[in-house]
């Protein structure tokens, strides 16, 4: 990797934006599992493993899986965010591997929000 | 310049995917065509949580909400609504009859009252990918600091922003940086920058979380700090209880070196700087800056006298610019968006003097007896009530709020009469507590304040490095007195004795740990004196926590004989048959409270 | 590798520098689960530091132990959030079951009982950490079951 200059940084920024974008990645959905210490302590790794197993088992190739830090509401961990192409991200709380499997089939593949597990729609606003 | 109208075009991920950037550009062009550029401004906002109907455009102050806006609709909105004042009905959103099944995030009080600066990327980016951080604007502040600003300008900007140290002391960061740069120049000695990630306050985990969700923000802040004071060497001192945070930092540093953001010729300039991670070994006192530096040098972490400032003579006697994680994470934002913007948030006017108020936001960890436990970031100056009841959702199980403990082990406990107090550095100090690193531990009427004071004194007694007598011996004696009060053996005059000892410890200890150690005792005596008196005079513990002073008893009128408590009792000391009232064998009972935990009839009484 | 060679290798890894002492001791502690006296002595010789100085460091920082620890380290978080949610009762129960005080090890070397001031997972209070596992929202009743699997 060559060392960046300031111009490279701007180019890299444009490119990196694309890789985070569902449309340019031809993905139908992005699932973010929140993996801070509190998430992991309450079982986020197991939830992630269940998700990956489901994706592999179903032969799906157009779902992006990513991790992020704590979402702030530690008492409701493990949490995950599901974002379908062109739709608002939905935050799910108190997940278990079983709930994640159900969520994957109903929401990610079936495009139906699983209301029982959902906390809210949208992202946090930053200043 | 003031605009009469703002057109808020949502540029959250959902709306961008449906073309909101194009729409906002088209709107700007049409506004210019209509000659309204000086009156109407287009603002690109974060996600409005309504992506299914995007792109969303909201016209303020009219409050008109357009959805599904396309580029071809821009002339219509500009001509009809913005010029002639006639909102375009066709594009306006008609709410469905029934309530949305899943609420919008911004309608949930936990999220609605928060303002995210330091935690701006939480839940959004993958902390292990530098590309993600760069995509959301990462390292642009560094580029600006390197090319458009001199070191003196950077320091001036931080100073005027009013940023005060988030580690607890609240010392203005800019003043510290300036002193460090000055000392370095004066003595011709190269300074170091240090990030204090030895977050030891029990009940505080904001620094851990900041590193875990956005390690590059901290690193970017440190590189900017290094440029400001002119140094090549940096350290992050992180406690060993945080393995995940350390791992993410290590990855982030490796990425920075790979991309030339650390090392020689940073971003193609002649700046050279690198950062090393040093892991703590389990000593609370090492969060104190002089002890931390001793530990960095491979020594026992003992603080030294306060009159020598580490900013002038710190690590290996070099000028040392030490700030904590949250402070560093604020730096890139201030450089990018300016001191004025930062100073507009929070309390007081800090543009002339950073001591005049508390600018920006503060991250708090909200824990204990509270419904929404978690990490919240709010503007300085919000009241305790808003934080605990609106964001935190109040006290669980219908119990009553008793106190909130702020400022870590040497902070204080504040009663309900202070709930409407605005939270900032100076207000908290005024009432006998402090900001500390931002832990807020909420307690309900089942907590005993004498026991809480005892808990903190025991903690500080163990963590005292033992170097100076008032802290080492004074805390031990205070601990002994609190132990006997909790055991029901308190004596007349104990409260006064505690106050005298506290006074001695505060005034003649060497470092800040000793200087603030008696706070939990003093604040509980100040606000909860009747509880101390109840223990000493009546041998009663109103909170039901002090085991020698309480007994567990099952109210036969309430007990429905479900056997649940009997099954869970670790001592097997509950007698009773199904559907018959149970009873506890008081001789064998260890007062563990497991029966109270499982009873759903509230039949277990602690008295 | 014998213990002297191990110390030499660690010095090579962390640098022949007094500032590296803590990092070297951390590696020793992690591998051996304690800091053996002969390694401490050898380290002092190699770095030309007094043994008293290293002993001071090894006893000052909580992460180091001069006695072997048990196969499993059972660590009760006594941070304030855990305290107000019942950590003291958990310690009472463990003391009673394991018949040891915090800071000591069972004679069969199965468990070392410790306390920690805060692991920063306060939302899950009260918390007991066994080795790397976080046992969240513990109660006296759940504790017994939770520890059974650690042999």
pLDDT of residue B48: 65
d(CA B431, CA B524): 12
Which residues, listed in sequence order, are joined to residue A82 by a DSSP beta bridge?
A31, A90
Set of chain C residues whose Cβ sits within 8 Å of the Cβ of B443: 84
- Tell whether the model's pLDDT for residue A20 goes beyond 80: no
Based on the fold, state whether residues B482 and B352 are members of the same structural domain: no
- Full strand arrangement of the beta sheet holding B401-406: B374-379, B361-368, B439-444, B401-406, B412-415
**Can you tell me the mean pLDDT for B189-207?**
92
Whether B317 has its CB under 8 Å from any CB of chain C: the answer is: no
Based on the fold, state whether residues B439 and B460 are members of the same structural domain: no
CATH number of residue B373's parent domain:
3.10.20.600
Based on the fold, state whether residues B219 and B321 are members of the same structural domain: yes
- Domain count for chain B: 5
Residue from C13, C14, C64, C79 whose CB has the most chain B CBs within 10 Å, to mutate: C79
Is residue B131 assigned to a domain? Answer: no
Is residue B135 assigned to a domain? Answer: no
* Per-residue pLDDT tens digits for A32-61: 999 888 888 888 999 999 999 999 999 888
- Tell whether the model's pLDDT for residue B1 goes beyond 60: no
Give A83 to chain C, closest Cα distance, Å.
26
Based on the fold, state whether residues B327 and B383 are members of the same structural domain: no
**Can you tell me the mean pLDDT for C124-149?**
86
Give the best-scoring range by mean pLDDT among B10-14, B119-123, B386-390. B386-390
Give A84 to chain B, closest Cα distance, Å.
9
- Tell whether the model's pLDDT for residue C141 goes beyond 60: yes
**Can you tell me the mean pLDDT for B20-28?**
89
8 Å CB contact of C60 and B465: yes
CATH number of residue B475's parent domain:
1.20.1440.230
B149: tokens are: 């600003």
Identify the band that residue B5 occupies on the pLDDT scale cut at 50, 70 and 90.
Answer: confident
Based on the fold, state whether residues B418 and B476 are members of the same structural domain: no
- Tell whether the model's pLDDT for residue B175 goes beyond 90: yes
pLDDT of residue A126: 65
The fraction of chain C above a pLDDT of 70, given in percent, is: 100
pLDDT of residue C11: 93
pLDDT of residue B97: 59
Nearest 5°: CA angle at B156, between B150 and B162?
145
Is residue B475 assigned to a domain? Answer: yes
* Per-residue pLDDT tens digits for B217-250: 999 999 999 999 999 999 999 998 888 899 999 9
Angstrom distances, CA of residue B491 to CA of B479, B481, B482: 14, 9, 11
- B158 backbone dihedrals φ, ψ, rounded to 5°: -65, -40
pLDDT of residue B88: 87
8 Å CB contact of C121 and A75: no
- Residues 6 or more apart from B2 whose CB is under 8 A from it? none
Note which residues in 90-129 of chain C have CB less than 8 A from chain B: 92-93, 96, 116-123, 125
Give A57 to chain B, closest Cα distance, Å.
25
Cβ–Cβ < 8 Å for B323, C42: no
Set of chain B residues whose Cβ sits within 8 Å of the Cβ of C93: 570, 590, 592
Is residue B121 assigned to a domain? Answer: no
Identify the band that residue A2 occupies on the pLDDT scale cut at 50, 70 and 90.
Answer: low
Set of chain C residues whose Cβ sits within 8 Å of the Cβ of A75: 123
Q: Which residue has the higher pLDDT, B53 or A33?
A: A33
Based on the fold, state whether residues B107 and B13 are members of the same structural domain: yes
Angstrom distances, CA of residue B443 to CA of B226, B405, B475, B485, B549: 42, 8, 24, 20, 20
d(CA B473, CA B450): 20
3-state helix, strand, coil in chain C (%, to 5): 50, 15, 35
Give the best-scoring range by mean pLDDT among B18-22, B260-264, B364-368, C145-149. B260-264
How much is the mean pLDDT over chain B? 90
Is residue B127 assigned to a domain? Answer: no
Is residue B545 assigned to a domain? Answer: no
Based on the fold, state whether residues B151 and B54 are members of the same structural domain: no
- Tell whether the model's pLDDT for residue B98 goes beyond 60: no
- Tell whether the model's pLDDT for residue A72 goes beyond 60: yes
- Tell whether the model's pLDDT for residue B47 goes beyond 80: no
Domain boundary among B507, B538, B569: B538
Residue from C50, C60, C144 whose CB has the most chain B CBs within 10 Å, to mutate: C60
Based on the fold, state whether residues B225 and B369 are members of the same structural domain: no
B296: tokens are: 């960095």
CATH number of residue B74's parent domain:
3.40.30.10
8 Å CB contact of C141 and B373: no
8 Å CB contact of B593 and C89: yes
Note which residues in 59-88 of chain C have CB less than 8 A from chain B: 60-64, 78-86
CATH number of residue B596's parent domain:
3.30.70.20
Set of chain A residues whose Cβ sits within 8 Å of the Cβ of C120: 37
Set of chain C residues whose Cβ sits within 8 Å of the Cβ of A77: 123
Concatenating the DSSP letter of every residue in B543-599 gives: TS--GGG--EEE-TTT-----HHHHH-TT--EE--TTS--EE-TTT-----HHHHH-
How much is the mean pLDDT over chain A? 88
Torsional sign, CA B558, B561, B564, B568: positive
Based on the fold, state whether residues B188 and B292 are members of the same structural domain: yes
- Tell whether the model's pLDDT for residue B82 goes beyond 70: yes
8 Å CB contact of C18 and B297: yes
pLDDT of residue B110: 84
8 Å CB contact of B570 and C93: yes
d(CA B85, CA B83): 6
Nearest to B465 by CA among B202, B200, B276: B200
pLDDT of residue C119: 82
- Full strand arrangement of the beta sheet holding A63-68: A63-68, A29-34, A80-84, A90-92, A118-121
Burial class (CB in 10 A: 0-12, 13-18, 19+), B113: middle
Beta pairing class for C128-130 and C133-135: antiparallel
pLDDT of residue C139: 87
B406: tokens are: 């702020």
d(CA B251, CA B222): 16
Nearest to B540 by CA among B477, B498, B486, B481: B486
DSSP 8-state class, residue C17: S
H or E segment to which residue B226 belongs: helix B215-229
Domain boundary among B357, B383, B403: B357
B308: tokens are: 């020598």
Domain around B597: 551-606
- Residues 6 or more apart from C48 whose CB is under 8 A from it? none
Is residue B568 assigned to a domain? Answer: yes
Nearest to B310 by CA among B169, B163, B216, B435: B169
H or E segment to which residue A107 belongs: none
Nearest to B496 by CA among B521, B513, B514: B521
pLDDT of residue B96: 61
Give the best-scoring range by mean pLDDT among B51-55, B76-80, B511-515. B76-80
Based on the fold, state whether residues B511 and B380 are members of the same structural domain: no
d(CA B338, CA B333): 8
Domain boundary among B495, B512, B538: B538
Beta pairing class for B40-45 and B5-10: parallel
Nearest to A44 by CA among B216, C82, B391, C124: C124
Based on the fold, state whether residues B217 and B321 are members of the same structural domain: yes
Based on the fold, state whether residues B48 and B85 are members of the same structural domain: yes
**Can you tell me the mean pLDDT for C42-69?**
93
**Can you tell me the mean pLDDT for B380-390?**
94
Is residue B543 assigned to a domain? Answer: no
- Tell whether the model's pLDDT for residue B259 goes beyond 90: yes
CATH number of residue B293's parent domain:
3.40.50.11540
Query: How many beta-carbon pairs under 8 angstroms link A with C?
Result: 20
8 Å CB contact of A3 and B260: yes
């Amino acid at each position: 990797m060559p060392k960046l200059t300031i111009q490279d940084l701007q180019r890299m920024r444009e490119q990196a934006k694309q890789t985070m974008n569902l449309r340019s990645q031809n993905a139908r959905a992005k699932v973010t599992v929140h993996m801070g210490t509190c998430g992991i302590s309450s079982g986020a790794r197991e939830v992630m493993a269940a998700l990956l197993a489901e994706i592999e088992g179903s032969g799906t190739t157009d779902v992006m899986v990513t991790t992020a830090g704590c979402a702030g509401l530690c008492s409701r961990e493990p949490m995950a965010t599901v974002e379908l192409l062109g739709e608002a991200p939905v935050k799910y709380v108190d997940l278990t591997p079983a709930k994640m499997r159900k969520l994957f089939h109903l929401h990610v593949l079936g495009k139906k929000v699983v209301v029982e597990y959902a906390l809210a729609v949208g992202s946090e606003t930053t200043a | 310049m003031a605009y009469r109208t703002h057109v808020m075009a949502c540029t959250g991920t959902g709306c961008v995917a449906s073309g909101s950037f194009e729409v906002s550009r088209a709107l700007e062009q049409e506004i210019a065509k209509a000659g309204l550029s000086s009156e109407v401004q287009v603002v690109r906002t974060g996600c409005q949580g309504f992506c299914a109907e995007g792109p969303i455009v909201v016209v303020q102050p009219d409050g008109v909400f357009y959805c599904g806006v396309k580029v071809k609709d821009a002339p219509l909105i500009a001509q009809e609504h913005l010029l002639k004042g006639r909102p375009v009905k066709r594009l306006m959103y008609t709410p469905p009859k029934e309530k949305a099944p899943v609420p919008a995030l911004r309608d949930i009080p936990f999220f609605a009252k928060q303002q995210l600066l330091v935690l701006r990327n939480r839940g959004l980016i993958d902390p292990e990918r530098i590309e993600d951080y760069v995509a959301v604007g990462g390292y642009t502040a560094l580029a600006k600091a390197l090319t458009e600003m001199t070191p003196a300008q950077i320091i001036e900007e931080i100073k005027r922003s009013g940023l005060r140290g988030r580690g607890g002391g609240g010392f203005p960061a800019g003043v510290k940086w300036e002193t460090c740069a000055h000392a370095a120049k004066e003595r011709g000695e190269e300074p170091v920058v240090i990030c204090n990630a030895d977050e030891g306050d029990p009940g505080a985990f904001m620094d851990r979380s900041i590193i875990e969700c956005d390690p590059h923000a901290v690193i970017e802040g440190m590189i900017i700090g290094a440029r400001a004071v002119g140094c090549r060497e940096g350290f992050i001192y992180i406690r060993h209880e945080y393995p995940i945070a350390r791992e993410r930092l290590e990855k982030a540093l490796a990425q920075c070196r790979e991309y030339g953001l650390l090392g020689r010729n940073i971003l193609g300039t002649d700046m050279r700087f690198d950062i090393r991670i040093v892991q703590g070994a389990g000593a609370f006192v090492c969060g104190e800056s002089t002890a931390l530096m001793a530990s960095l040098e491979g020594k026992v972490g003992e603080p030294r006298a306060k009159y020598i400032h580490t900013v002038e003579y710190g690590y290996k006697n070099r000028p040392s610019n030490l700030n904590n994680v949250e402070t560093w994470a604020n730096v890139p934002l201030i450089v990018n968006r300016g001191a004025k913007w930062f100073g507009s948030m929070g309390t007081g006017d800090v543009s002339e003097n950073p001591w005049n108020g508390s600018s920006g936001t503060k991250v708090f960890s909200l824990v204990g007896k509270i419904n929404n436990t978690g990490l919240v970031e709010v503007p300085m100056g919000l009241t305790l009530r808003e934080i605990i009841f609106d964001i935190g959702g109040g006290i669980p199980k219908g119990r009553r709020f008793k106190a909130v403990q702020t400022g870590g082990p040497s902070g204080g406990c504040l009663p309900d009469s202070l709930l409407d107090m605005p939270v900032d550095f100076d207000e908290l100090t005024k009432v006998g507590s402090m900001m500390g690193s931002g832990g807020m531990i909420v307690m309900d009427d089942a907590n005993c304040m004498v026991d809480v004071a005892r808990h903190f004194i025991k903690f500080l007694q163990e963590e005292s490095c033992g170097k100076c007598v008032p802290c080492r011996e004074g805390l031990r004696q205070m601990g002994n007195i609190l132990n006997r009060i909790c055991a029901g053996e308190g004596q007349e005059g104990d409260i006064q004795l505690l106050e005298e000892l506290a006074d001695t410890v505060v005034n003649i200890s060497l470092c800040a740990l000793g200087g603030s150690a008696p706070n939990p005792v003093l604040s509980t005596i100040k606000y909860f004196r009747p509880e101390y008196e109840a223990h000493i005079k009546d041998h009663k513990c109103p909170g039901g926590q002090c085991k020698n002073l309480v007994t567990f008893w099952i109210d036969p009128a309430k007990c429905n004989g479900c056997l649940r408590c009997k099954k869970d009792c670790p001592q097997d000391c509950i007698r009773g048959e199904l559907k018959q009232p149970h009873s506890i064998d008081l001789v064998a009972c260890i007062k563990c409270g497991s029966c109270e935990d499982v009873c759903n009839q509230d039949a277990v009484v602690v008295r | 590798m014998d213990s002297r060679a191990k110390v030499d290798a660690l010095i090579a890894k962390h640098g022949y520098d007094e500032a590296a002492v803590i990092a070297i001791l951390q590696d020793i502690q992690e591998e051996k689960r304690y800091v053996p006296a002969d390694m401490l002595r050898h380290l002092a010789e190699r770095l030309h530091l007094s043994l008293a100085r290293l002993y001071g460091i090894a006893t000052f920082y909580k992460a180091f132990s001069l006695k072997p620890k048990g196969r499993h380290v059972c660590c009760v978080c006594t941070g304030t959030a855990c305290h107000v949610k019942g950590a003291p009762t958990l310690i009472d129960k463990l003391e009673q079951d394991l018949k040891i005080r915090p800071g000591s090890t069972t004679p069969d070397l199965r468990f070392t009982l410790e306390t920690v001031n805060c692991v920063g997972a306060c939302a899950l209070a009260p918390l007991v950490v066994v080795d790397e596992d976080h046992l969240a929202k513990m109660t006296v009743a759940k504790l017994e079951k939770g520890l059974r699997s650690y042999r």
